[in-house]
Every structure is written in C-alpha cells, then in structure tokens.
Structure 1
C-alpha cells in the first residue's frame, strides 16, 4: 500500500510539472525569429489574429511544441522501462543504441525507398520501430549468458558500442547520397526537431495513447522486475516474458519519438532519476512524474536551443546532451 502522504506529494509535483510545461509553452509561443507579442497569444489562439500571427503560431510554433512535448514524454517513459527491466540506472534508449538502430532504419528507408509525401509521416515511426527492435534484440542476445542469464551491466556496455557503430554506419550510408538527403540525415543525427507539422503529431500520438496506460498497468510488474530474479520468480513473475513485452514497449516509445525528433539522448536517463528522487522508486508513483518531467526537459531544451542562435538555433539533441552528459558522468562515478 502506498502511503497517502506520498500520493499527495506526487499530485503536488504533477501540478508543478504541468505549470512548468504551460509556462515554457507560453514562452516558446512568443519567442523566435518572428516574435509574437504575449498579449496577442490568447486572441490568436481564439481566431482573432492576423494572417501572419496565425501562421506563426498554428503552422510553426504550436505543432513543434506539441511534438517536442510528446517526444520527451515517450523518451522518458522508455528510459524508465529500460532502467526497470535491466535494473541498471544508466539505461537510456539513446545511450544503449536503440535510437541509433531506429536512425539506421530511417536512413535506409529515406535513401533507398521513396514514398508518397502523404504517407511519409505515418511510415517513419513504423520504420524506426523495425530498426530499433532489430537492434534491441541483437543487444539483448549479446548480453544474455546461458548459465548466468541476463546481464544488465553487459547490456549497457554492448549498447554503447552498438550506438557508436550504428552512428558510423549512418555516416557511411549518407557519404554518397544526394545533398538534400544528406542534410536531412545530418539534422536527424544532431537531434533537430524536423517533424514539426501536424501530421507528425497524429503519427506519434497513438503510440503514447496506447503505451502510457499499458505501462502504468504493468507498473507493479516493473516493481517486481526491479528485485532480484529469485524473488521475482518466487512471487510468480514470468521474467523473460515480462522483460520482452516491456522491452518492446520501450523500443516502440523511443522509436516513435526519435523518428520525428532525431537522435536525442539523455532525456530517458534524466527524467526517471529526477522523478525517483522526488517521489521514490515505486513505478506507480514516479512514472507519471517522469513522463511530465521528460516532456518539459525536451521542450525546455528546444525552446532555449532555437532562440540562442537565430534563425536556425541549436538542435534540441545537442542542448539535451549539454544538460545530460554531466549528469551521466555523475551517475557513472556514483554507481
């Protein structure tokens, strides 16, 4: 049973997180190369703006903000699941190679399989998922030993190696490609929010609508997987079945996110840790907090990044790395 004081604390933190997201959204709507006065945001949202104001808000700023928010949530939840099933605090979809696997799949698809523009935004998450799941399966097999079972530390080390190798493979693939296609892949590698239009929101949203409730339903299983294997088996958990199911969930979340935002790391590492520090290690408590913190972190990184250097700014992936890399080093030294 969860103590009522912890539930109350969680609700307060959820409200604060929502307020941070709202505040950052408002700031992001007004800031940019074509600024919109803050006292004009509400009238424009209610259809009382000029053509320029409505174009900037509805065609450029708002879809990008929603995409960034949803992607941050997906990456945070993916990281929380991976840390739970591997019992390794350093697990993150970017660090252990899942994002790079999605990137290789998207690169091959983009370079060699032309498709109609209308279907492109909906196919990209699927292609990313296929690339990511193939990578995850290979990493999982390499980190599994017949006599000792699954090795969480080995998974992280192998994943880091795969992430580096797959990033190199992407560079090899684009070395002889058309210039416009090279520009796209280069932006993807840097973590530039390239899918900033409404179709990409509809392509990403269903994954979250299905997989967030599913993960919350599996939260108690994640609690048990975080214990030692004998204890989990003793209470009747089918360890391999649950791990594979939750691994597929984490891969789908990460792939759907990075397919429209590019290669973004560290959000899935930081958000679960911050949530655990605030409300404890019970998955029922910290997963909702981690989802909101992850959404806010990526939104904050993108808002800062795109306004530092105009007009192009700094990719959100680079800003997230600047924030997350020192935290990763801190965790590495601590563990």
Structure 2
C-alpha cells in the first residue's frame, strides 16, 4: 500500500509547487523589513519608476541577500543529500559532522590575518574566501575519513567521528575568538551563528559559480548515490568503485558546504531537514531527490531569513538561529525514531 502511495506522487507537480512557493515567499520578503515597501511600489521599482530610496533598499540590500539565501539553501540541502547518501545515515549533515566548523575556522582565520575585520573585505578577498572555506572543510572531511577508516568506512563510525571533529573545531574556534578584539569577537560570533552578512552582489557572484557547477555534477552522480544506498557489498557486486565514488561525492559535499559557509556562516540543520522533507515528497531516488532538495532548501532558508529580519525588527536574529530552532526538534525526533 505504501509502495502504491509512493508511486502515485507526481514529482513534477511537487517541484512546480515548491517553485511557486519560493516565488511567493520571495515577493513577500521584498515587501518586509525595517523599511516597508508596498507591493505596488516594488513593482514600480522593478519597472524603473521607483524612488531612489526604494531602488537602494531593493537592489543594493534586499535582492542580493535573498538571492544568496536561495543559493545557500540549495547548496547546503544538496550537501546534506550527499552526506546522508554516502553514509547511509539520515542524521548526517555538514553542520553536525564538523564540515561547516572546519570551513568556518578557515574563514575566520583568513579574515583575522588578512583583513583584520569582518567588514573590511575587498573585492578580491570576497572571491578568494570560498577557497579558504573549501580548504577548511576539506581538512575536516579528510580527518573524518581517515579517523573513520577501518577496513572501509561504516556509516555509524563516520557519524561518530564527524561529531567528534565538529566538537574539536568548535573548541578551536572559541580559543581563536578569545584572541580577537571585542568588536571582531562579536562579529565573528554572530557570523558563526549563521548570519548572511554578505549583502551585496559581489558575494552573489562569488557564490553563484560554485552552486551552478557543483549541483549539476552531483545530479550526474545521482546513480552512484542510489547504488551506495544498497550497501557496499551490493554496490561492489554491481561494478561500482565504492571508495572512489564515495571520496568524489564527499568532495562535492565539502565544496558545496564550504562555499555556503563562506557567505552564510555556520547554518546547521538545514542540510539535515531539507533532504528528509524532499525524500518524503518524492521518495529516495536521487535523480528526483536532489532537485527537490534544492527547492526545499532554498524555500526554507528564504523563509527563515524573512523571519530573522522581521521577528524582532529593527533588531535582526541570525538566520542560523531560526533554522536551528526549527531544525533541532526534528533532529531530536529523528534520534528518537532511530532508537
């Protein structure tokens, strides 16, 4: 009965619905903020007939931030899909495993040594920063993989080692933050809590290539994720180079997470929740799961960012805290369900 119910779902209709919800959320978010802009004025501004103030608010502040929210949501969701696929563990997430913490540590080190302030980034630095995030995330992933290796990598060992690495990098971040001056310490703390602080088009252009290149590559690798879900022995029997494909997929997950952390900070639980919701909507086949997770992740982070900006306006909550408030109960539910 469950099988028939799963077959009756229309993945195209589900994806179209998610896309429509993203568009609706996008336009609602354009109207909200410290400066409220009525929908008719938003339309006028897009048609080139708006006031200078509305143009400044929409094109220089709100639009780039919202586009970045969509990109980061999509990237972290696909990173979560990959990690859950290669570990065969529904609790895998780049934030929980320590990949985000590794990227965050590398970015904070880069900013501290080369810029001196989170607000002092030049144009070139914005484009270099994702590579530092990738280096930190890769270091975390290599440590996880090496320490989890024992005649292969089992899903349980991968998760447990990842949690340990996350704690270690988190401790290193705290030690390093204590050496900062108070102003930079506060900025770093807010950013690491998941604050989309890159609110201009330079950050969009720095993030966009990573998302546009890595997600299609992941989609091409979807069949390997399907095979890996059958177990290592079965996958090997079907002619798959298990460890080679797992390493390649892990690198894709790391690169996606690192590029997102470079701009969005330490947003946890999104890479956990989005794949689960997508799996409930379209099932476990990764050719459908990956694009659905892209849409779910984008929708979740766009909505969470709108809540973060407006809930305590004019004060702003880091979007990572909103995602954690929504995602932590679901994580606890999954833990209880697993036991």
TM-score bin (small chain): over 0.9
Name the CA distance, whole Å, in 2 between partners of 1:291 and 1:277: 14
Q: Per-residue displacement from partner, 1:55-112 (whole Å, max 9, x unpaired)?
A: 0100111101000110000000000000001111100000110000001101111111
Q: Is the 8 A contact 1:143 1:152 kept in 2?
A: no
Name the CA distance, whole Å, in 2 between partners of 1:237 and 1:99: 29
Q: Is the 8 A contact 1:98 1:254 kept in 2?
A: yes
Establish whether residue 127 from structure 1 lines up as the match of residue 132 from structure 2.
Answer: yes
What is the CA-CA distance between 1:116 and the residue it aligns to? 6.3
Partner SS, residue 196 of structure 2: coil
Name the CA distance, whole Å, in 1 between partners of 2:113 and 2:48: 42
Name the CA distance, whole Å, in 1 between partners of 2:153 and 2:176: 33
What is the CA-CA distance between 1:113 and the residue it aligns to? 2.3
Q: 2:262 maps to what in 1?
A: 259
Establish whether residue 59 from structure 1 lines up as the match of residue 60 from structure 2.
Answer: yes
Name the CA distance, whole Å, in 2 between partners of 1:69 and 1:320: 14
TM-score, with structure 2 as normaliser? 0.94
TM-score, with structure 1 as normaliser? 0.95
Matched ranges for 1:136-147 at <5 A: 136-146=141-151
What is the CA-CA distance between 1:6 and the residue it aligns to? 5.2
What is the CA-CA distance between 1:197 and the residue it aligns to? 1.0
The one of 278, 285, 290 aligned to 2:288: 285
Q: Is the 8 A contact 1:7 1:285 kept in 2?
A: no
Q: Is the 8 A contact 1:187 1:194 kept in 2?
A: no
Name the CA distance, whole Å, in 2 between partners of 1:6 and 1:265: 32
The count of corresponding residues between Structure 1 and Structure 2 is: 330
Q: Which runs of 5+ in 1 are unaligned?
A: none
Partner SS, residue 273 of structure 2: helix
What is the CA-CA distance between 1:7 and the residue it aligns to? 9.4
Name the CA distance, whole Å, in 2 between partners of 1:150 and 1:176: 37
Q: 2:206 maps to what in 1?
A: 203
Give me the CA root mean square deviation.
1.5
Compared with structure 1, are the counterparts of its residues 41 and 106 closer, same or farther at alpha carbon in structure 2 (3 Å cutoff)?
A: same
Q: 2:168 maps to what in 1?
A: 165
Q: Which runs of 5+ in 2 are unaligned?
A: none
Q: 1:30 maps to what in 2?
A: 31
Q: 1:96 maps to what in 2?
A: 97
Q: 2:83 maps to what in 1?
A: 82
Name the CA distance, whole Å, in 2 between partners of 1:270 and 1:231: 28
What is the CA-CA distance between 1:163 and the residue it aligns to? 1.4
Q: 1:327 maps to what in 2?
A: 330
Q: Is the 8 A contact 1:190 1:318 kept in 2?
A: yes
**Structure 1 residue ranges (4+ consecutive) displaced by more than 4 angstroms after TM superposition:** 5-8
Q: Per-residue displacement from partner, 1:158-217 (whole Å, max 9, x unpaired)?
A: 212221221221121121213332232112211011111100111111011111111111
